[in-house]
Amino acid sequence: MDRTLIILKPDTIQRGLIGQVLQRFEQKGLSLGAMKFMKISRDLAERHYAPHKGKPFYPGLIDYITSGPVVVLVLQGNRCIEISRTLMGKTFGFEAAPGTIRGDFGASRSYNLVHGSDSPESASTEIALYFKDDELLEYSLASSGWVYPKDDS
In whole angstroms, give the CA distance from residue 110 to residue 120: 24
Residues between 117 and 146 that touch Mg ion (CB under 5 A) = 118
Distance spanning both ends of the chain, measured CA to CA: 17
10 Å Cβ neighbour count for 41?
10
Amino acid present at 112:
N
Q: Which segment (27-35, 63-71, 101-109, 111-119) binds Mg ion by CB under 5 A?
A: 111-119
Active site residue 52: no
- Which of 3, 30, 112, 130 contacts ligand IDP by CB under 6 A? 112
Binding partner of residue 112 among Mg ion, ligand IDP, none, CB cut-off 5 to 8 Å per kind:
ligand IDP
Q: How far is the CB of 141 from ligand IDP (least distance, A)?
A: 27
81 three-state secondary structure: helix
Given the residues 115, 123, 126, 127, the one annotated as active site: 115
Q: Which is nearer to ligand IDP, 109 or 143 (CB)?
A: 109
Binding partner of residue 91 among ligand IDP, Mg ion, none, CB cut-off 5 to 8 Å per kind:
ligand IDP
Kindly tell me the sign of the dihedral angle through the C-alpha atoms of 59, 85, 31, 23.
Answer: positive
Q: Which is nearer to Mg ion, 26 or 118 (CB)?
A: 118
- With contact defined as beta carbons under 8 Å apart, do 2 and 122 qualify? no
Q: Catalytic residues, which ones?
A: 115
